[in-house]
Amino acid sequence: MILAMARSWSRDDARAEDLTQDVLIRVWRTASNFDPDRGAERTWIATITRRVLIDAARSRGATPLPEELSVEAASTSRTGLASAVASEESRTALAALADLKPEWASLIQLSLMSGLSHSEIASHTGLPIGTVKSRLRAALESLRSRLAPSSSRGVTS
């Protein structure tokens, strides 16, 4: 899965292999941070992979475009990544994202899937940074409530 994501992002096998190694090193070093109550191993590793890919893009002076690291683009990749993102967990998350207000969903995509900061999103959309922050918070709270197991809904921490 890691190599497939790296290949779909870089299109250079040697670079993809280097990025895969970077991901595996980060997974090894941060393994103690994994919490099975927060999600599956595959999701945790995919998140680390996405972060490494975004960091690599930024280090070479590029900002990844939303379509480069989106779930939809990855699922149509020729590298077999479709099976990696076609899990029930991914479908549930995509359905919850699709149920959001369109302006919230676009901000979530810019933030989580493209790795843009709040100020970069504000520049990209023309919205004030305070509006970006409040809409992202509302969107994430909405997603959290939709994705929370039914047994834990209504429980505050």
Q: Do 59 and 136 fall within a single domain?
A: no
Q: Note the pLDDT of residue 89.
A: 63
Distance CA(116)–CA(123), nearest Å, equals: 10
- State the total domains in the chain: 2
Secondary structure (H, E, C), the chain: CHHHHHHHHHCCHHHHHHHHHHHHHHHHHCHHHCCCCCCCHHHHHHHHHHHHHHHHHHHCCCCCCHHHCCHHHHHCCCCCHHHHHCCHHHHHHHHHHHCCCHHHHHHHHHHHHCCCCHHHHHHHHCCCHHHHHHHHHHHHHHHHHHHCCHHHCCCCC
Q: Do 40 and 80 fall within a single domain?
A: yes
Q: Do 97 and 136 fall within a single domain?
A: yes
Q: Do 69 and 103 fall within a single domain?
A: no
Q: Note the pLDDT of residue 130.
A: 92
Q: Note the pLDDT of residue 1.
A: 83
Distance CA(118)–CA(30), nearest Å, equals: 26
For 47, the domain range is 1-86
Dig out the tokens for 50 from the structure. Answer: 């996405």
Q: Note the pLDDT of residue 25.
A: 93
Dig out the tokens for 110 from the structure. Answer: 């810019």
Q: Do 81 and 4 fall within a single domain?
A: yes
Dig out the tokens for 107 from the structure. Answer: 């901000």
Weakest mean pLDDT among 9-13, 58-62, 85-89, 151-155: 151-155
Dig out the tokens for 67 from the structure. Answer: 């379509």
User: What are the angstrom distances between the C-alpha of 109 and each of 2, 13, 89?
Assistant: 20, 27, 17
- pLDDT digit string, tens, across residues 51-97: 888 888 777 765 454 444 444 444 444 344 444 444 566 667 777 77
Q: Note the pLDDT of residue 75.
A: 40
CATH number at residue 45: 1.10.1740
Q: Do 102 and 115 fall within a single domain?
A: yes
Average confidence score pLDDT of the chain: 75
